[in-house]
Amino acid sequence: MPVAHCVSSIAGIMLTVDDNFCRLMQRSEQELIGRSYTTITAPGDLEKSAKMLNGLVDKAAPTRLQKQYVRPDGSLVKVDLRVSRFDGDDRLVSSLSWVEDRPHQATPRQLWRAARHIKALYAMRASELGADLFSDPVALILLEVYVAEAEGRVATIADIAAAAELPRASTTRWIRALEQRDLIHALGTGAAMMQLTEQGSAKVERLLTSALRPGDA
């Protein structure tokens, strides 16, 4: 759980902030210094923040409060706030801790299922629209290799050509183009078996994750 710190005046004007405070508020140090806490506090928490400020006693144990701050994009972040008052220095010292949002991480099974589902959609679209009107060889090749690896198989050029419904010569040309982009590479001699590179696997999984959560793309 990250922790940020801020020193402000008794009136709540920010005087110094650390890097984590800037990261938490998603603002630069220059944007924060000299501002009142009221300008970044969620409107619904302004009253209880003011009550806490008025009730602070010099050198007492830190006062704890849960509140929300407003980021520049309008989103709210909830923090656990602890504030101490030091009358001798005419300062408030605040420590803030919060739980960071974690990006969604799909499980291997979810990614495999998404890849198979997308393959099925491609096949349906080709069937309904016609292969001459609908074709995406790059996606089909990458999906076939990804699914093969997820199922513990090694995709051969023949497998890939059959899955993509492409002539073997065309499949080989596309594979060479993908090798040049460091998305796929051949295993062993003869280049008959294909595998995704680390970069290729990462890119495919990002696309599959986006398909699972389209709103987060």
Domains, the chain, ordered by start: 3-97 (3.30.450.20), 108-216 (1.10.10.10)
CA distance 178 to 167: 17
Residues 6+ apart with CB under 8 A from 42: 67, 68, 69, 70, 76
- CB 68 within 8 Å of CB 60: no
Per-residue burial over 180-189, b if 16 or more Cβ lie within 10 Å, else e, is eeebbeeeee
pLDDT at 58: 61
CA distance 84 to 38: 18
**50 vs 73, 79, 103, 166, 170, CA distance in Å?**
24, 16, 34, 69, 70
The token duo for 216 is 């987060």
Taking only the tens of pLDDT, the chain with its 217 residues reads: 678 899 999 889 999 999 999 999 999 999 999 999 999 999 999 999 998 888 876 656 678 889 999 999 999 999 999 888 876 668 888 988 887 665 556 788 888 888 888 888 888 887 787 766 667 888 889 998 888 888 877 788 888 888 888 888 988 899 899 999 999 888 755 557 888 888 888 889 888 887 776 544 3
